[in-house]
Amino acid sequence: MRRAFVLRGEGIECELESWRALDVLGFEVFGLDVQSLLKDAPRACQLMRAGDLLWIPGGFSFSDHFGSGRLLAYWLRKTKAWDLWLERSIDVIGVCNGFQVLCHLQAFGDCSLEPNLYQKGFVNRWVHCRLIEDHDTPNTLRWRMPVRHGEGRLVVRGPMKARPFLSYDDFDNGSWNQVAGLRTEIGASKIIGLMPHPEVALRPIDDPNQAGPEFTEEFRAKVLTPTGDGLGLLKNILC
């Protein structure tokens, strides 16, 4: 059984949703306390080994008023936690705020996530996304998931060390080429970042358009089964 660690603690949101998604996918899941990590990274990461997965959750991290993910990324670099993960060949996925953290760590090259171009302030809505094939065109599969961000516009300023793998289909926040997710490799570590929240779309019933109190118990039981679009996307990129 593959193991995964979820960053959690004061100032970290969406940790429970991330944990649940990994558990449904069949991972053996552990928590990685953010305060312990920033205090003594080698000790906090002593159980982690090559091939393990680290999930940096979406939502918010502490002191985001200085810029989404900026301070957490600063401390991950200062405490050498980021270097330690790469040295141990740990795979990393960052969702939403986690993606912003990875961009501040320059995991994907000279790019950043800036305030949305066409929406003012925070955006919270469900959107459709498509996987991008190797020939840079989206495939026919559409994944419906929520976006919850105010700084989700991907801006590319120079050389990239990453490949787009996910694009928005019916949502435009000004991102470069409508890209919603990037992936790369650093040494033996696979690094994935995406703005939509697949962990919030594990079951059909999680979609606000799918079910309500007027539906029968049989229908509600069906939509409670973990077969949602978010789970399908995670199976595609993690399993």
Residue 171 in domain? yes
- Residues 198-237, buried b or exposed e (16+ Cβ, 10 A)? bbbbbbbbbbeeebeeeeeeeeeeebeeeebbbbbbbeeb
Residue 140 in domain? yes
pLDDT at position 130 is 94
List the domain range (segments joined by +) for residue 157: 3-202+229-238
Rounded CA gap, 179 and 163, in Å? 10
Q: What is the DSSP letter of 42?
A: H
Q: How many domains does the chain have?
A: 1
Residue 82 in domain? yes
pLDDT at position 102 is 97
Rounded CA gap, 176 and 5, in Å? 31
pLDDT at position 136 is 66
pLDDT at position 138 is 66
Mean pLDDT by 10 residues, the chain (239 residues): 93 92 97 95 96 93 78 95 98 97 97 91 94 73 93 94 95 96 98 97 87 67 84 94
Nearest partner of 187 among 57, 107, 86, 96, judged by Cα? 86
Which amino acid, 45? C
Which amino acid, 120? K
pLDDT at position 36 is 95
How many Cβ atoms sit within 10 Å of the Cβ of residue 39? 11
pLDDT at position 84 is 97
pLDDT at position 137 is 65
231 within 8 A of 198, measured Cβ to Cβ = yes
Residue 185 in domain? yes
| Token couple for 125 | 């809505």
Residue 146 in domain? yes
- State residue 193 phi and psi, 5-degree precision: -135, 135
Domain with residue 49: its CATH number is 3.40.50.880
Residue 211 in domain? no
